[in-house]
Amino acid sequence: MYKFVLIIVSITVLSSCSKSLSKKEVEQYTIQGKEIAQATAKKLGGTLVEKMKDGGVKDAVPFCNAEAINLTKEMSDNFNVSIKRTSHRLRNGENKPNEEENNIINNYNKLFSEGKKLKPIAQLDQSGKPHFYAPILLQKKCLACHGEIGVDITKKSDSIIRSYYPKDLATGFKEDDIRGIWSISFNE
Helix (H, G, I), strand (E, B) or coil at 146: helix
What is the phi-psi region of residue 125: left when phi exceeds 0, alpha when psi lies from -120 to 50, beta otherwise?
Answer: beta
**Of 36, 75, 81, 142, the one binding ligand HEC by CB under 6 A:** 142
93 alpha carbon, distance to own chain's centre: 14
Contact between 54 and 148 under an 8 Å Cβ cutoff? The reply is: no
- Kindly tell me which of 64 and 104 has the beta carbon lying closer to ligand HEC: 64
Stretch that binds ligand HEC, among 1-9, 23-31, 117-125, 142-150 (CB under 6 A): 142-150
Q: What does the angle CA 11 – CA 13 – CA 16 come to, to the nearest 5 degrees?
A: 105
- Kindly tell me which of 29 and 182 has the beta carbon lying closer to ligand HEC: 182
Tell me if 60 contacts ligand HEC by CB under 6 A: yes
- Kindly tell me which of 88 and 124 has the beta carbon lying closer to ligand HEC: 88
Please list the helix, strand and coil fractions of the chain in percent, rounded to the nearest 5, in that order.
55, 15, 25
Helix (H, G, I), strand (E, B) or coil at 38: helix
Tell me if 146 contacts ligand HEC by CB under 6 A: yes
Tell me if 134 contacts ligand HEC by CB under 6 A: no
Tell me if 84 contacts ligand HEC by CB under 6 A: no
- Kindly tell me which of 45 and 128 has the beta carbon lying closer to ligand HEC: 45
Tell me if 163 contacts ligand HEC by CB under 6 A: no
Q: How many CB atoms lie within 10 A of CB 133?
A: 24
Which spans of this chain sit near ligand HEC (rule: CB under 6 A)?
45, 48, 52, 57, 60-61, 64-65, 68-69, 85-87, 90-92, 95, 136, 138-139, 141-142, 144-146, 170, 179-180
